[in-house]
Structure 1
Amino acid sequence: MLRSLRLLRSRPNILSLGTKVYGSNPPPSQIIHVQKVKFRKRWFKPNNFIIAACVYYFCFQVYKTSVVDTLTHWADEQVKELSDEEREEMEEEILEPLFIPFPFTTRLVESAPYRSTDPEWKAFITVNKNPALVKSIQSGLAVLTCKIASSNSALVQKCGNDMQLGRWWLDIHYPYRPPPVFIRKGLLIDDDGISIAEDPIEPVVALWIQRALWPSTLTLSLYSFSEALVKQNASNFAKLFGLDANPTPTPPLQQTIEKIHQQFKKSAPKSNSKEHSALPSTSTQAANGSSPESASPIEKRSTESSPAPGSTTASPGSGVSPLPIIPSDTDSDKPKTLMDSSVLKFTQEHTSGPWEAFKQKFAQTWRPIRELPPRGAIYVSGLVEITTARAFITVDVAAWWDPQTENFDLKTAAFHLKSLRMKTQKPHRGKADE
């Protein structure tokens, strides 16, 4: 009982201990040093490590028993049902090495020069010692150029469709080395294990990947677009404050407004004269008496104030020239589309100049991707002249002739118009000559 009463007893106040020691006088001033203490916990506990290892091992065993063993048993049953031929095919596919390429590892490697023992070099010697074959190669390229020119609609429209092969100047070059090869690194998985190796890649695929990763043409075109747009906005902003160094002429809208004001000024005196000439007729009619069909002043005012819809005439005494009434957009039954919105039209007009700069820069920097010539091909280049009844056409030609197929590789061929000379030239006839 006494213990319970002692628990209910009020405890002494801690703040009153200072008054008991020092009395009413405050304690003397002292310097208090505050130090921060950081309690660090032990990050490595053997018990936690052992428990986590046991949990992971248990989860691995459950996954292996329920998933991996089930799939392995099912695969063994499927293999047993296969025939011997299917098993051999499957084993051959499994034995094929698997190559996983690494990104950004593609590089261009120059091929080794041809040797005297290479079959390509022996083919060069065979072609060089056969003048008839050399001439047939040159004439074949000239005929091919004439066919391509005759299939061009622009040349046919300007020069005529009666194209004939004229003179040609073609040279044959035997390359010193094969075309370069693109190689990329990757992870090779085969019977020997896993290793890092290099594997060749097709040139067209490598060039397309390179252009996709480094789009220099698109970047330069966008830069030209942004530069032209910034200059245009800066010029428009300067015009607002009258800082334009080269002031442009009056815009078309302001010219149209000035023409309307001039028409108002010219039509004002004519309308006043008509009003004065109409006054005597009304006064004589009033003197002779009102006609039986005359309307009251209220009816006249109502009929004058409510013109017929769609009428383009004005009142004789208004002093304003008649103007056409433009129907509003709400009167049209056609639904509005995105192309009819004023925001889109304003954007198109505002970006027309930068867009032209974008297209011009894109046309200057764009080059089509061409494949590399086949190994052992012979390079033929020069000029081919084509004649018509109206003009002389000169074409710059470059192509590769493959000794294995005995034909030109059209994927790597290039045909450019060198010059176009008309046989009869006429001077320009202007208005003064007419």
Structure 2
Amino acid sequence: MLLRTRPTVQVAHVVAAGFFVLYSALSLWRHWIFQSTGYDLGIFEQAVRSYAEGRLPTSELKGPGFPLLGDHFHPVLALLAPFYAVAPRAETLLVAQGFLFALSTVPVTRLASRLRPRGVVVGVAYGFSWGIHNAVAFDFHEICFAVPLLAFAVEALVEERWRAAVLWSLPLVLVKEDLPLTVAAIGCYLVYRGRKRLGWATIAFGAVSFVVIVFVVLPLFNPDGGYAYWAKLEPSWSGLVTRLGTLVALLAPTGFVTLRSPLVLLAVPTLAWRFTSGNPAYWGIDFHYSAVLMPIVFGAFLAARPTRTWVCGVVTAMFTLVLTLRPLPQPEWDQAQRAEVEAVLALVPDGARVAASNRLAPHLTNRCEVSLFPWHTDAEYVVVSRPAAGWPVPADDEARNLASLPHRVVAGTGHVVLLKR
């Protein structure tokens, strides 16, 4: 077992603090310039708001009174309820996510620093890794809880602290319904390393949790009585180049050294459900889907005991920058125009039922009952942005439905229009 020296821990905390500021700043900037969306920030705020009000999570954006535990299994979100009760705003979720992602840099940085001189470079490279970056740059998601749990679990596995690794991994079953399979994969690794009793118990816990969650809990809450995402599993050869490109993007930053450690197999469950899905969004490197793979990839890299840690760290950072270094999100509206939009949104009374465009929704979900326009148009108020975002609702659909509403215009600018029934 490696010793945890005080300087190593302090360096890891400094790295984490820096990334907390960066992650939070990027997320908040996106939100304040109206680049965040109802799908998904608004949905998750409605979930956390439900918990803060002492009820099971529902989301009007998904449908009238839609029970979110019938869509994805993420009761871990209840941990944010006390913080949201103090600061009931979407920003609370974004800052919490920034903290959790930054927290995951601690085990990676201190493990790298203990293994090699200048290992802090690897910790910094991890913090800039494209999987984490793309997750921060796309609203809020429950997997922000899984990333630090996996990072601490992988650190314990590399250091052969078997029980600690299991304890860190068990809460993953409360984050999302596919993660029990990752817990089972950790059990398989323990069996491989000769810890058969603990390994088989971990496998059993992960497998049983998966079966109970997917075949019992989710159908129990789902209005249709099933698990909606089974229908998305449509294996095909289409998009094969994209999927192969994702594998290269995962392995190339570490010079494929990651493949020298069996720890990399912990990524198999996540890659399996993504690559067998018929949804092209799951195949590539965008959005938040690869964030949970970053602790595994970097942990396996360190477990392989690379001889030139700092060189691989620099290569990792360079590769990450190529994939993710884009201009900061740019506002479609200037400061004066955003102030006009905010003034119009302020006219919507607290507690009102309002159908909103996708990028306006998360600016109302803390105080109104918000559904998505034009999927739900029976609300008292309708507020629509111009130009239409075009996702997840086609812009033509928004324009067509807006013209047929039995509402009158209350206020508007060239960028937003508010109507009341």
TM-score range, shorter chain: under 0.3
Q: TM-score, normalised by structure 2?
A: 0.20
Select the structure that is richer in strand: 1
Q: TM-score, normalised by structure 1?
A: 0.19
Select the structure that is richer in helix: 2
Asked which structure has the greater CA Rg, the reply is 1
